[in-house]
Amino acid sequence: MKDILTVLNDRRAAARLGGGQKRIDAQHARGKLTARERIDLLLDEDSFEEFDMFVGHRCTDFGMEQQRPYGDGVVTGWGTINGRMVYVFSQDFTVLGGSVSETHARKICKIMDMAVENGAPIIGINDSGGARIQEGVDSLAGYGEVFQRNIMASGVVPQISVIMGPCAGGAVYSPAMTDFIFMVKDTSYMFVTGPDVVKTVTNEVVTAEELGGASTHTRKSSVADAAFENDVEALAEVRRLVDFLPLNNQAKPPVRPFFDEPGRVETSLDTLVPENANSPYDMKELILKIADEADFYEIQEDFAKNIITGFIRLEGRTVGVVANQPMVLAGCLDIDSSRKAARFVRFCDAFEIPILTLVDVPGFLPGTGQEYGGVIKHGAKLLYAYGEATVPKVTVITRKAYGGAYVVMASKHLRSDFNYAWPTSEIAVMGAKGATEIIHRADLGDPEKIAKHTADYEARFANPFVAAERGFIDEVIQPRSTRMRVSRAFASLRNKSVKMPWKKHDNIPL
């Protein structure tokens, strides 16, 4: 017995050493942690239960039978984050460059299957040279099996990808199908074809960082949801995100103790909206003043800043926030902001997270760039996402709600439950100046008449009361009491239940 225990311990020690001390040192020298160090930081202390520590590949080509490292380049298992179960895989770059073999993929598939069966999130830490070149199609088959599981798990359990090294070629499509992608600045990259192929095919000269680094994907492509300074920060932020999320689509998000009075009055909000209707103000201030303890987890902070998306808590319960940002492009909707917000709304709806929408939107951004880029189709995504969402929906209009954008932004007409407006709201087809120039075209040469018509239009529509008379606005509320009103509204909706007509699946404009 003693001998066999020694054998077990020796094997475990060998497995834990991955590709050996030299490669671990090289990993550290690049500012990267090892696969196991990352798991240790991600999960609660001593909570990790590993699967398949001794699995080895079965390849016999190209001398591979000479090197069959334990674990085959990926560490898999489950553990807890603040006491709640998650499944995790962490690719080990020190072992054959973290490359994906048939058996490596099978290990990932095993924990993905278990996560779906047991209703717990899947967190994938990616650090891999891609398909194990020695294995050829067996490796591709492995990727295909992982992809299929990403699809089956989508909308069932939250899937989070953390990119902490290379992630290239078709390998990018597994993270791409997960709910959130986080990257680490300077040490991670994602691209379908690398700089060398790009140079050969298009003659463009670009570095890996420029082509697919964290900055590119958080600012330009929107492939990634956030970028962090290092592995430690990224993993801490994943823990923070998991705290906002339900474990699966049948479970409610966790309820945290809260130390912030739901009825807290914020008198400063009464002057948040400037007197000049064209002056910007920071919508994030409103979000922070509504949220429990001013805690806001922003998603895609660096992309399409004219709309803000992220999670807060109200009375300890998670709420997804979508808000126009008047500081950027006057808060208008465009292709990027519509796509960003639509995906966020659909995530919330899939996982029963109520949605708070804060509206100050002058309309859709005009221009050939937008029309040629398909703003019709992309704008429709957000409209569609709001209209199909059956979770509790509460909307607060702070200032402008013009035209189609008024309808899109969780209006009453899209089955929103509570629609509040501040007294500063202007709910109309368009701004007074534009409206006057169209309906009083004959008077365009007479500035006095135009000024009068504009004032008349403003008096009629630059307020929330016409919409309130129709019942499109449930109540005109005082800005200072927004947190209380919104908290009470969501509290009243906790048992909301809406049935959708049967369909195989919808056909959202893609």
Q: How far is the CB of 408 from ligand HXC (least distance, A)?
A: 36
Partners of 255 in the β-ladder: 317
Q: What does the angle CA 157 – CA 158 – CA 159 come to, to the nearest 5 degrees?
A: 110
Alpha-carbon distance values, 400 to 272, 326, 359, 397, 407 (Å): 14, 10, 7, 7, 12
Phi/psi of residue 275, each to 5°?
-65, -40
Query: Catalytic: 404?
Result: yes
- Joined tokens for residue 141: 């088959």
Q: How many of the other CB atoms lie within 10 Å of CB of 454? A: 19
Residue whose CB is less far from ligand HXC, 69 or 403: 69
Q: Tell the smallest beta-carbon distance from residue 116 to ligand HXC (Å).
A: 21
**By the criterion CB under 6 A, which residues form the site for ligand HXC?**
96-97, 99, 129-133, 140, 143, 166, 168-171
Least distance (Å) between residue 185 CB and ligand HXC = 17
Q: How far apart are CA 480 and CA 462, in angstroms?
A: 21
User: Position of tokens 């085959």?
Assistant: 72
Q: How far is the CB of 166 from ligand HXC (least distance, A)?
A: 4
Of residues 139 and 325, the one with the C-beta less far from ligand HXC: 139
Q: What share of the chain is helix, strand, coil (3-state, %, to 5)?
A: 45, 20, 35
Q: Toward ligand HXC, which CB reaches closer, 183 or 361? A: 183
Q: Among this protein's residues, is 63 annotated catalytic? A: no
Q: Which of 405, 421, 462, 467 is catalytic?
A: 405
Q: Tell me the closest approach of the beta carbon of residue 63 to ligand HXC, in angstroms.
A: 11
192 phi, psi to nearest 5 deg: -80, -40
Catalytic, 434? Answer no
Q: Specify the residue, 67 or 118, whose C-beta has the smaller distance to ligand HXC.
A: 67
Q: Tell me whether residue 36 or residue 378 sits nearer to ligand HXC (CB atom).
A: 36
The nearer residue to ligand HXC, 18 or 403, going by C-beta atoms, is: 18
Catalytic residue among 144, 169, 373, 387: 169
Cα dist. 78→91, 101, 114, 243 in Å?
14, 21, 9, 16
- Cβ partners under 8 Å of residue 286, min gap 6: 269, 272, 323, 358, 398, 482
The single residue of 170, 194, 316, 434 carrying the catalytic annotation is 170
Phi/psi of residue 119, nearest 5 degrees: 65, 55
Task: Confirm whether 170 is a catalytic residue.
Answer: yes
CA gyration radius, the chain: 26
Residue 96 CB, nearest distance to ligand HXC (Å)? Answer: 5
Question: Burial letters for 299-320: b for 16+ Cβ neighbours within 10 Å, e otherwise?
Answer: bbbbbbbbbbbbbbbbbbbbbb
Q: Which two tokens stand for residue 244?
A: 């906002």
Task: Pick the catalytic residue from 144, 194, 387, 404.
Answer: 404
Q: Which residues are catalytic?
A: 169-170, 404-405
